[in-house]
């Protein structure tokens, strides 16, 4: 649904928002939380260029509760977007008032968009699932249910942090090759996963499924998500109940939630490869087929300690696109609730690793290094099979199309710090 807020030619009186490569032009207007100091409560803001607009100071809201904002009906949400667009566009009469409500993003702390109540991680990246499956089941990489049901597991909300936080190398059980007894050790196969986070807006009552045609009304927006993974723990513990300590030690999101309204110009048809089964009726619909997918470019960058010391911003490891996901975000919401499960404002649904079809488009080191068998060569002569202490992983994403303004999702950044000494665990 396109309207005036998507106009390619609209400029903002916030000069930095008009740069061609800016992630947050006036056509984006993502929401997040910030504070001026740790002693102050979190405030709600909107990113515009390199600034953040304090919605309370601008007189747009009378509270600091992001969950309340996320629960707004769709019509009210779009009305707020239109008000923001009108006030921030060049020539707006609100400029003198709102100018005082602007803060440079680099002078404030950006937090999680809201407190996360529940977290579910899906497995929508078929290329990731196929590549990883081949490492363990060369003749049968995809299990029989994969093309029929969105696969997912419930993750740990308490360990979700925002971009810029460090990630401590975790300790856990592994069974080393040839060993009969597992050992407690720091992970030697620490990995990232390139994902999107789907932030739930309006919830649904317990016992009341969300039909596919209404599913997007329950989505506040998307951000980047890194589902850090300890592959050696994962291989030992995942049967029969799935991921546990291999996943729950850290998950990182970018701080700004980009609305589906902002992404409207980048919608695309949802299709399945020829010969694949079509979704069951409850996961199928005319709108989902016509425009349920989104054309969003996703990137993974790696900055090693040596690169940082040399002033190098990092190396692009891989690039993929959300178009390659096997399920749409609407299908994830509908399937999650088809049994009556109630979603609540601020819940997070991870897409799962979003890899592309080519080997160099893997969304994890597990794929790019063929399970650690093929070291990844970096331009400064270093190599990696999995992450080392001091490495920084930066996820980026943007949507770009002729006739529309380029918008971005910002950065999702995390740096690995050493594990706690095992002596404290003996």
**3-class state of residue 418 by DSSP:** coil
Q: E strands along 228-314, which residues?
A: 229-230, 251-253, 267-268, 293-294, 297-303
CB atoms within 10 A of CB 78: 16
Q: Which residues contact 182 (CB under 8 A, 6 or more apart)?
A: 173, 174, 175, 236
**CA distances, 95 to each of 13, 79, 255 (Å):** 7, 19, 25
239-253 core/surface letters (b: 16 or more CB in 10 A; e: else): eeeebebbbbbbbbb
Contact 196/260 with Cβ under 8 angstroms? no
Which residues belong to the active site? 128
Contact 127/194 with Cβ under 8 angstroms? no
DSSP label of 137: -
Sheet holding 219-226, edge to edge: 152-154, 119-122, 348-350, 194-200, 219-226, 251-253, 160-162
**3-class state of residue 422 by DSSP:** helix
DSSP label of 325: B
**3-class state of residue 90 by DSSP:** coil
Cα 201 to Cα 199: distance, rounded to the nearest angstrom: 6
In terms of Cα–Cα distance, which of 190, 180, 120 is closest to 150?
120
| Integer Rg of the chain from CA | 22
Contact 230/168 with Cβ under 8 angstroms? no
Dihedral angle sign, alpha carbons of residues 259, 262, 264, 265: negative
């Amino acid at each position: 649904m396109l309207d005036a807020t998507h106009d390619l030619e609209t400029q903002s009186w916030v000069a930095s928002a008009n740069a061609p490569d800016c992630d947050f032009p006036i056509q984006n207007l993502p929401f997040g939380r910030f504070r001026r100091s740790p002693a102050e409560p979190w405030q709600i803001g909107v990113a515009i260029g390199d600034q953040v607009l304090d919605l309370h100071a601008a007189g747009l809201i009378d509270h600091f509760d992001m969950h309340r904002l996320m629960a707004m009906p769709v019509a009210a949400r779009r009305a707020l977007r239109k008000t923001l667009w009108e006030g921030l566009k060049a020539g707006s009469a609100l400029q003198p008032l709102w100018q005082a409500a602007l803060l440079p993003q680099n002078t404030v702390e950006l937090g999680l968009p809201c407190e996360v109540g529940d977290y579910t991680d899906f497995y929508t990246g078929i290329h990731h699932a196929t590549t990883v499956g081949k490492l363990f089941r060369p003749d049968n990489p995809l299990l029989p249910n994969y093309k029929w049901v969105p696969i997912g597991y419930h993750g740990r909300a308490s360990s979700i942090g925002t971009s810029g936080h460090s990630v401590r190398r975790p300790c856990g059980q592994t069974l080393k090759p040839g060993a009969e007894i597992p050992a407690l050790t720091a992970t030697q196969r620490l990995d990232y996963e390139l994902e999107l986070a789907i932030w739930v807006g309006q919830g649904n009552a317990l016992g009341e499924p969300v039909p596919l045609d209404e599913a997007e009304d329950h989505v506040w927006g998307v951000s980047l998500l890194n589902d850090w993974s300890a592959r050696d723990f994962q291989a030992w513990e995942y049967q029969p109940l799935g991921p546990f300590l291999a996943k729950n030690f850290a998950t990182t999101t970018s701080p700004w939630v980009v609305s589906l309204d902002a992404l409207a110009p980048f919608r695309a048809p949802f299709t399945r490869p020829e010969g694949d089964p079509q979704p069951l009726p409850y996961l199928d619909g005319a709108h989902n087929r016509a425009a349920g997918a989104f054309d969003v470019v996703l990137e993974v960058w790696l900055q090693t300690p040596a690169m940082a010391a040399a002033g190098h911003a990092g190396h692009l490891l891989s690039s993929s696109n959300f178009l390659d996901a096997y399920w749409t975000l609407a299908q994830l919401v509908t399937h999650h609730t088809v049994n009556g499960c109630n979603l609540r404002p601020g819940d997070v649904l991870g897409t799962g690793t979003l890899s592309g079809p080519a080997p160099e488009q893997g969304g994890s080191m597990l794929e790019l290094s063929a399970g650690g068998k093929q070291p990844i060569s970096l331009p400064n002569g270093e190599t990696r099979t999995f992450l080392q202490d001091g490495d920084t992983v930066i996820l980026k994403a943007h949507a770009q199309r002729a006739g529309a303004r380029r918008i971005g999702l910002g950065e999702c950044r995390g740096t690995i710090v050493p594990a706690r000494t095992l002596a404290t665990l003996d």
